[in-house]
């Protein structure tokens, strides 16, 4: 039985009509840049995340980049983050001229180990960039406490965590800014690239809005330098058709995760979800001593699988100038060598799940 890592076919069938209608609306209005669809999506995402402001941008990566720019972080500054994440997290820090400073992760959740943050703070540290990996939030109470004490900004990389909660509060509403991605494999995925910045700070939101349009305000007058970081109206229109389904899709993933948890707990480390967290299962990630063997077995059985992430960022060639080496972040390194993610999308059938489970157990 062939099972892809992500199958968007069934999802598309359920929203096809709405997507066509939305496309037609954009073409008829001919507002391809800016316009009502962007404004409506921004209002709805702000609401969904429990924030007063949301600004649509060109990708999750650009959400991180423009947030750093808007906060004035650049040359000589340091930003604390995790080495066990997608490249964009640290890549964006580098691109504004700042230095990524890594802190190891917690072995249970794969998120930043908050007990190791303070020892990395120097007089150059300007921000902490926690990543809510796989759809579970970092310990934001502790991170905000540290940030307050040392007068640091908090930039949440919530690319994998739209709708995740901690003590009933949504991801993207804890930090100075939250950064979201609409990459097709995220729980709310577009038909291409897209992203969103959330904040409760009105003047910061205004700055992001100006920066996303070359720093232009009023038009053709530039006090600051930005870029083209705009979200397309067509993407916004598609995302608006998908947003009303998001909670149902989260629920489908959760149900599948519960079934896997039950059937795989005694053979692998299944995702550990803290009791005060709502996890949206952007990924369902297992841990195996014999990971590579297990991966081969799944691949041979035509079951989609993926390693997020096989090489921690402190060991990437492009970051060798930072001077880190093997052994510096043992928990991240162990995770990189042993994690394996399996299909979790809500449309998976029981039959498919049973096949995946028996292949892993067999």
Cα 249 to chain centroid distance, Å, stands at 16
Name, in order, each residue with C-beta under 8 angstroms of 328's C-beta and a sequence gap of 6 or more. Answer: 102, 314
Subset of 115-134 contacting ligand PLP (CB under 6 A):
131
The stretch near ligand PLP (CB under 6 A) out of 65-73, 157-165, 330-338, 354-362 is 157-165
The answer to the question of residue 164 lying near ligand PLP (CB under 6 A) is: no
Binder of ligand PLP out of 11, 181, 187, 256 (CB under 6 A): 181
User: Do 269 and 110 form a contact (C-beta atoms < 8 A)?
Assistant: no
- Alpha-carbon torsion (263, 268, 270, 274), positive or negative: positive
CA dist 303 and 4 (Å) reads: 6
Q: Of the candidates 11, 67, 82, 89, which one interacts with ligand PLP according to CB under 6 A?
A: 89
Site for ligand PLP in 265-304 (CB under 6 A): none
Residue 341 interacts with ligand PLP (CB under 6 A): yes or no: no
Residues 332 and 327: their CA atoms lie apart, in Å, by 9
Q: Does 175 bind ligand PLP (CB under 6 A)?
A: no
Contact 5, 304 (CB under 8 A): yes
Q: What are the structure tokens assigned to 300, written together?
A: 């041979």
Per DSSP, the three-state class of 40 is helix
The Cα–Cα gap between 67 and 229 comes to 11
Residue 236 near ligand PLP by CB under 6 A: no
- Measured distance CA(198)–CA(159) in Å, rounded: 12
Least distance CB 93 / ligand PLP (angstroms): 12
Size of the site for ligand PLP (CB under 6 A): 15
- Omega of the bond leading into 14 within 30 degrees of 0 (cis): no
Instruction: Candidates 41-49, 83-91, 315-323, 326-334: pick the segment binding ligand PLP (CB under 6 A).
Output: 83-91
Nearer to ligand PLP (CB atom), residue 264 or residue 342: 342
By the rule CB under 6 A, 88 interacts with ligand PLP: yes
Identify the residue among 49, 66, 67, 86 touching ligand PLP (CB under 6 A): 86
The distance of closest approach from Cβ of residue 2 to ligand PLP in the complex, given in angstroms and rounded to an integer, is 26
Which of 96, 103, 159, 348 lies at the binding interface for ligand PLP (CB under 6 A)? Answer: 159
Pairing of strands 195-199, 53-57: antiparallel
Q: Which residues bind ligand PLP (CB under 6 A)?
A: 59-61, 85-86, 88-89, 131, 157, 159-160, 181, 183, 193, 195
């Amino acid at each position: 039985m062939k099972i892809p890592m992500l199958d968007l076919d069934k999802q598309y069938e359920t929203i096809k009509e709405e997507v066509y209608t939305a496309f037609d609306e954009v073409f008829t209005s001919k507002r391809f840049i800016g316009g009502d669809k962007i404004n409506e999506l921004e209002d709805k995402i702000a609401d969904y995340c429990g924030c007063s402001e949301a600004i649509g941008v060109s990708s999750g990566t650009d959400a991180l980049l423009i947030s750093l720019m808007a906060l004035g972080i650049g040359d000589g500054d340091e930003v604390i983050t995790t080495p066990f994440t997608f490249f964009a997290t640290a890549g964006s820090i580098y691109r504004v001229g700042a230095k990524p400073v890594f802190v190891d992760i917690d072995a249970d959740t794969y998120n930043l180990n908050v007990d190791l943050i303070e020892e990395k703070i120097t007089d150059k540290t300007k921000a902490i960039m926690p990543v809510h990996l796989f759809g579970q939030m970092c310990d934001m109470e502790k991170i905000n406490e540290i940030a307050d004490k040392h007068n640091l900004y908090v930039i949440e990389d919530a690319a994998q965590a739209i709708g995740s909660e901690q003590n009933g509060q949504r991801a993207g509403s804890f930090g100075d800014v939250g950064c979201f991605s609409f990459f097709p494999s995220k729980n709310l995925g577009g038909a291409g690239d897209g992203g969103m910045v959330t904040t409760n700070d009105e003047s910061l939101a205004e700055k992001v809005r100006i920066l996303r349009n070359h720093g232009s305000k009023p038009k053709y007058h530039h006090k600051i330098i930005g870029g083209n970081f705009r979200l397309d109206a067509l993407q916004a229109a598609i995302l608006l058709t998908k947003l009303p389904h998001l909670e149902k899709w989260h629920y489908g993933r959760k149900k599948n995760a519960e079934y896997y948890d039950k059937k795989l707990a005694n053979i692998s480390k299944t995702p550990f979800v803290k009791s005060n967290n709502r996890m949206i299962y952007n990924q369902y990630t297992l841990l195996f001593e014999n990971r590579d063997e297990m991966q081969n077995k799944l691949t041979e059985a035509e079951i989609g699988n993926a390693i997020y992430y096989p090489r921690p960022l402190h060991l990437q060639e492009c970051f060798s100038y930072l001077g880190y080496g093997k052994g510096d972040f043992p928990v991240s390194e162990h995770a990189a060598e042993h994690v394996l993610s399996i299909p979790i999308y809500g449309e998976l059938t029981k039959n498919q799940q049973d096949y995946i489970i028996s292949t892993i157990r067999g």
